[in-house]
Every structure is written in structure tokens, then in C-alpha cells.
Amino acid sequence: MINKKGKEKSTIKEKRLKIIKKLIFDIFIFILFLVLSILLFQKSLIFEPVQNVKYFEKSNLDYKVYLHENEFYEQEYLSKDMLYIASLIDKILIDFDYTFESEDNENIDFDYKIVATLTIQNQAGTRSYFEKTFTLLNNRTVSLKNSNRENIRETVNLNYQYYNSLANSFKNQYGVDADSKLTVYMLVNKKSNENSNFSLDDTSTMNLVIPLSERSVEIRMDYKDINQTNNIVKKKEHTITDYIPILIAIISIIISLIWLVKAIRKIESLHIKKSEYDKYISKLLKEYDRLVAESSTLLSFEGKEIITITKFSELLDIHDNLQLPIMYYEVSKHKECYFYISHENMVYLLKVDEKSLNNMK
């Protein structure tokens, strides 16, 4: 069946317009499913930005100075922040109390130990003759698990006379004028673990300084507590609240990518360089628009005499003589087509393909 002129007639321009309309539709579908997937992801995922969480550290250091039996002091020990007579000191009990507290629940490991450092130095305190560290409490570990507070309490029994005798022996043996002291440290290392969403590795220290080898009868002890505030910088993280929207979102992304590929192919088809064949056919259809009618189906040539035409100009002469339309039928897209005029029992046929193109120009 031959389409009437002006109804189903399709020019190159019209084909491009159809492609552009389909391209716009493809892009619309692509954007639609892409937006849908984004909304679904946002609905099912909770994103937590980087945040600073404050934590507080404080400590309390207490000690009791136990005395040898003597005729002056009735009590067994003296409390801190007093003056002590060195020869009466038997032992010193030191209580370390450390507290960590944060604004949020956290996962943190605490490694701590207690050591004592004996230092013998010149009287100006600028250089040391001798220094040695003793372990009073081996390394221990406690963990803060999804909580915001941890408390560490430890007590050490310090043999004062042992360290004092060691300092006196050094000074007497080598005859140097020196100052001696014993510094007792509690070292608390805070570090993040595999369940933490932040990086933390920091050590806090509280210490007690005890003078040694004093010839005078007065001893004063100095101590340093921990009392500070700092921040934990948490990393970005996300939590999945519902897996069904996530699955639908993934499917939506796949669909959107399919339509994106379709759109890209249509864009490529709009920019395909025309072959000599396409240029020639396009020129004929445009130049002889009123004379040529496009047919979606090919006329049956059975029982008809076919007269082969080699040039389009010859077909134009036949059209002028018979006053019949020139029919156009595309046999193979971009490769081969027929121009023909059907008159009674005869068909005047012009076959156009890439090979025969040079003979027709």
C-alpha cells in the first residue's frame, strides 16, 4: 500500500526530529529513575557528618606516709601535704584515681602502668649523674564499651627507705654534691579500637615527686593531677535503616543507566557522518519532493515487465511523459532503495546502492 503524499512522507529532517523527541524522552526517564534512587538512598541511609565530641579527664592523687614506731607520733601514718621527717618514714601508700568522661558513648581502650624514676642530678638541676626507672605496676588494660565514663583506681606501696638508701649510697660513694628525687608516675594511654569511628592515641600523666637523701629532717612532696578537656573528632559514617528501599534504589540506578545508554546511542546517531549514498538520496528526496512519493511497502512486480533505468534523470522523463508519481521504497537502510514508476503492465525501475551510485551522477 502506498502512503498518500503529505501524510506518511518521511524526510531526513523528520527522522532527526523523531530521534530528538525519543532522546528527550530517554533523558526524562533517566533523570526520573536517578532522582528516585537518590531519594530512596536518602530515606534508608543516615549520614553522620564529622563532629567534635568533648571529653573530660580528671584525677585525684592521695597518699599516706607510714611511720616507724617512735615516741612522738601516736598515729600510724600522716596524710598528704604535711612535713615529714625522713628518718621516721617507713613506707608511702599512694592512691591513684583517674576518671574519663565524654559527652557521648564511646569505645576506647585504656592502657596504664605505674613507674618510679630515681634521679640524681647536680644542685642546679640542669644535668643528671644517674637515672633509673622502676616498674611499680605492670601494664594493665581496661576498655570503655559503648559507654561515656571509665574510672581507674590503683594503689602502690612504695618502700621509701630502699630508694633513699640507694640515693645516699651513690652520693657517699662518689662524694658528689647532688639533689636526689623519686618521681612516681601513673601513665594512662587512651586509644581507639576496631569499634571506634575516630582515631585516638594519647597519654595522660599524673605524678608525685618525693625528695631523697635530704640531710635535713623536713621533706615536702609535690604532686600533679590531671584536669583537662579535649575533643574526639569523629569520622563520617552512615547507617542503613531499611534494606528494601536500598534494593529498589539499586534497581532504579540500573534502569536509569539503561536509559542513559539509549540516550547516548541516539545522540551518536544524530552525529553520524552521512555517507555519499545518504547524501545522494537525501538530495533527491528534497529536490523532487513534489514528484516522489514514499512507500512503506513494495509493489509486487509479479507478472509485470520490469524495465531497468540507470539514471534518475531518465525516470524524470518517464514521469513527465506519463504524469505518474515516482515511488520511493527503502530496501535496506542506508544501503539500497528503489525508485520506480508503475504503468499498466510495466514497471520502470531504478535501483540505487553504493556500488551503482557513481554511474547515476
Reply yes or no on whether the pLDDT at 236 is more than 70: no
Which of 219, 235, 251 is the last residue before a domain boundary?
A: 235
| Separation of alpha carbons 112 and 189, rounded Å | 6
What is the per-residue pLDDT across 29-45, written as a single tens digit (0 to 9) for each?
Answer: 889 888 888 888 777 76
Q: How confident is the model at residue 239 (pLDDT cuts 50, 70, 90)?
A: low
Other beta carbons within 10 angstroms of residue 280's beta carbon come to 17
Q: How confident is the model at residue 240 (pLDDT cuts 50, 70, 90)?
A: low
pLDDT for residue 1:
40
Residues 182 and 109 in one domain: yes
Reply yes or no on whether the pLDDT at 9 is more than 90: no
Residues 204 and 266 in one domain: no
Residues 309 and 360 in one domain: yes
Q: Do 26 and 52 touch, CB atoms closer than 8 A?
A: no
Residues 139 and 202 in one domain: yes
pLDDT for residue 219:
61
Residues 104 and 197 in one domain: yes
What is the per-residue pLDDT across 161-170, written as a single tens digit (0 to 9) for each?
Answer: 999 999 999 9
Reply yes or no on whether the pLDDT at 194 is more than 60: yes
Mean pLDDT value across residues 6-33: 73
pLDDT for residue 271:
66
Residues 285 and 267 in one domain: no
Mean pLDDT value across residues 206-220: 76
Reply yes or no on whether the pLDDT at 118 is more than 90: yes
Cell 617512735 sits on residue: 70
Residues 16 and 60 in one domain: no
Residues 171 and 240 in one domain: no
| Separation of alpha carbons 358 and 361, rounded Å | 6
Indicate the number of domains in the chain.
Answer: 3
Q: Tell me which residue range forms the domain holding 103.
A: 51-235
Residues 123 and 261 in one domain: no
Residues 112 and 55 in one domain: yes
Residues 86 and 154 in one domain: yes
The one-character DSSP state at 296 is S
Residues 137 and 200 in one domain: yes
**Which residues make beta-bridge pairs with 67?**
89
Global confidence as pTM: 0.54
Give phi and psi for 223, each to the nearest 5: -140, 155
Reply yes or no on whether the pLDDT at 2 is more than 50: no
